[in-house]
Amino acid sequence: MVQPDQAPKVLNVVVDPQGQCTPEIRNTASTSVCPSPFRMKPIGLQERRGSNVSLTLDMSSLGNVEPFVAVSTPREKVAMEYLQSASRVLTRPQLRDVVASSHLLQSEFMEIPMNFVDPKEIDIPRHGTKNRYKTILPNPLSRVCLRPKNITDPLSTYINANYIRGYSGKEKAFIATQGPMINTVNDFWQMVWQEDSPVIVMITKLKEKNEKCVLYWPEKRGIYGKVEVLVIGVNECDNYTIRNLVLKRGSHTQHVKHYWYTSWPDHKTPDSAQPLLQLMLDVEEDRLASEGRGPVVVHCSAGIGRTGCFIATSIGCQQLKEEGVVDALSIVCQLRVDRGGMVQTSEQYEFVHHALCLFESRLSPETVQ
């Protein structure tokens, strides 16, 4: 049973010859105490997400930005070491116990560095015009780069999206991105086409007090830049709508499934994890049927909160199924290395554990560790 006073286990960080830090992954159910190297003060939701106020740019200052050379501070290095090594492997009985320990999960969540990106790290003039929230930016190391429409215009390569590793560190299992804006819809479809993504998961309404996402798909047929999108079927489910799409570019076509989950309530987590879990299972079935194709694209509004919950739950369920244990702490840390702020609040962190616990209850008892 997991004890409330236990801290996450921090494993060794291995540095390869190129200077890249990678965590030493150890499959163990041990929950021994290890002091945390990093403590954060609680951050408010608006600080995590960024203001909803529209971004205003001083156009006269653009083009006068001096080159920026990123230098890691000692605090940033400690934070990255934590993200790459923190771990608390839970057996199935321990998972059931920890779900009942709300204070433990909240405390554990507050230890995880957010890893937000400094705008100066993105050396692309005017990239702010393509960001829905001014403080939610893509990690430069895992950023999705669009093939340039114009080689002299670096902005044409920019989209606020990151490749996200999946279960067992699988590269480019997902793409986490913001909800498309009126001026980024074409970029979004270019990305879906470029990456050969078989599934799009949308976890937001178009408007929740303020605009969260624009309507970026057509009723029947639409052309977005060089990509034509056709809706060939719509299936209304209890908590989400599935659209079957055909994308065309020249003589080539791609089939894409679009899931629009609309049951997530404003400003809180759902009362039940069942609808999101069912969505995850349906998407996983489509992913397996599309072996060899590109990443699953997931977005909400900012592309970190609900998006992080969905991806963390998906990875955790795969780990439970394959190993009979789950390490949600390590999963969320891995997500934040790839995209800062993933799983935005302690309530969302608890919700992920509830979803994993619900999935665990459906597994065969023979696999209990």
Annotated binding site for substrate: 266, 300-306, 344
- Which residues fall in the annotated binding site? 266, 300-306, 344
Which of 213, 300, 317, 357 is flagged as catalytic?
300
Cα→Cα distances 174→243, 291, 296, 334, Å: 19, 13, 5, 13
Asked about 145 being catalytic, the answer comes back as no
Active site positions, annotated: 300
